[in-house]
Every structure is written in structure tokens, then in C-alpha cells.
Amino acid sequence: MLERIKAILRDRPVAADTGGFDQLQVAVAVLLVEAARMDNDFDADERTAIANLLQRRFDLDADAAEKLLAQAEQRAQGSVEFYTLTRTVKDAFEHEDRVEFMQMLWEVAYADGELHDHEANLMRRVTGLMYVTDLESGEARKRALRQLGYEA
């Protein structure tokens, strides 16, 4: 109950079925999980990358990030509606935050060391839905590769 009141005061409502996380946190987590699952191999490196990104972005402790990740995985098991999720993120984030989110997605896509065709396709779709330019997404990709220790 206290979490719902805090969320309302922060102008980020908590839905009844989000486990105490606000809709933005859930949307970001589900999109990151989808980026990891696009190659049909959601491995430990991708899972760790997502947990770390959630901790950093939302200032969560490790336990909270794991709970959010578990909830996102459960939601991603069903049908994922990209438009609704990306709209939630687009509406909540300023433009710079959306570009930073694209970098997060790129970090997940490259967490296993390679970019698969389905991951690249998802990135193109999300770039448009987030109203981020291809150039900005490309720069976010380069930053992600540097962050992961790959040449950009």
C-alpha cells in the first residue's frame, strides 16, 4: 500500500499486478528481456546484464532488480505488445533518456558477444517507436559496444 502511495506521488502509478514496481520499470524490464530472448537463447550473461542495467537505471538493490527481472521474464512468456511497452517508456522518458534506453537495449543485444538478425530487427522497430533517430541509435550502439569492451 505504501508503495502505491509513493508511486502516485511520483506521478508513476503502480498497477495492481506489477509486484510493487511502477509501470515504467516493468515496461523497461520486459523490453530488455525481449531483446535478450530474440535469438532464442536467454543466457546468464544477458540475464546479468539486464539485472545490472535495472539496478543502475532505477537505483534498485540487487534483490529488487532480480524481482523485477523475474516479473519481466514471466510477462515476456506471453504475448508482448511492443507498442504499449514502448509508448509507456516514450511517454515517461525525456528524449535523452530514450537514447540512453536504446543504449541499454544494445548492451543486452550484444551481451552474448554477437548481434543476431532478430535482435537487429527489434532494435530497428524500437528505435522508431521511441522516436529516436537511426543516427542516435547508432551512436548508442557504439557506446554500448565500448561499455562492453568491444571495439565500436
Helix and strand totals (H; E) in the chain: 8, 0
Task: Report how far residue 124's alpha carbon sits from residue 127's, in angstroms, rounded to the nearest whole number.
Answer: 5
Q: What is the pLDDT of residue 8?
A: 43
Confidence (pTM): 0.84
DSSP 114: S
Residue spans per domain, the chain: 23-147
**Which CATH fold would you assign to the domain 23-147?**
TerB-like (1.10.3680)
Could you read off the pLDDT of 17-73 as tens digits, one per residue? 556 899 999 999 999 999 999 988 888 889 999 999 999 999 999 999 999 999 999
Query: H or E element: which one contains 118?
Result: helix 117-129
